[in-house]
Amino acid sequence: MIRVRVVFIGVIAEAIGTHIEEYSIQENTRLNELLDIIAGKHPFLREILRNLPLINTYVNGRHVDLNHVLEDDDEVVIAPPFYEGG
């Protein structure tokens, strides 16, 4: 088992009711599998993720795709899309 810290930003954090959670997951777990685990704990999150046009995911400060394999002590940030401009 490995441990990862998950940081939720914006509307996602509001929906979950917290900004940070820690998870113990199997080695070689991909980010999309972690999202399924999180949605299992917070079922309403699945609907939010489905309705967002894009979800931004970062591991240790680096933008990654959902197939990224997680490692022990990774920090995962899950954020809604950010829009710039006026």
Q: CA-to-CA distance for 83 and 74, rounded, in angstroms?
A: 26
Q: CA-to-CA distance for 71 and 30, rounded, in angstroms?
A: 9
**pLDDT on residue 10:** 87
What is the reported pTM?
A: 0.86
Convert the pLDDT of each residue in 35-50 to its tens digit: 999 989 988 777 777 7
Higher pLDDT, residue 56 or 49: 56
The angle formed by the CA atoms of residues 19, 29 and 8, to the nearest 5 degrees, is: 10
Cα-Cα-Cα-Cα torsion 80, 54, 76, 79, nearest 10 degrees, comes to: -10
**pLDDT on residue 45:** 78
Phi then psi for residue 73, to 5 deg, are 70, 15
Convert the pLDDT of each residue in 4-22 to its tens digit: 999 999 888 988 889 999 9
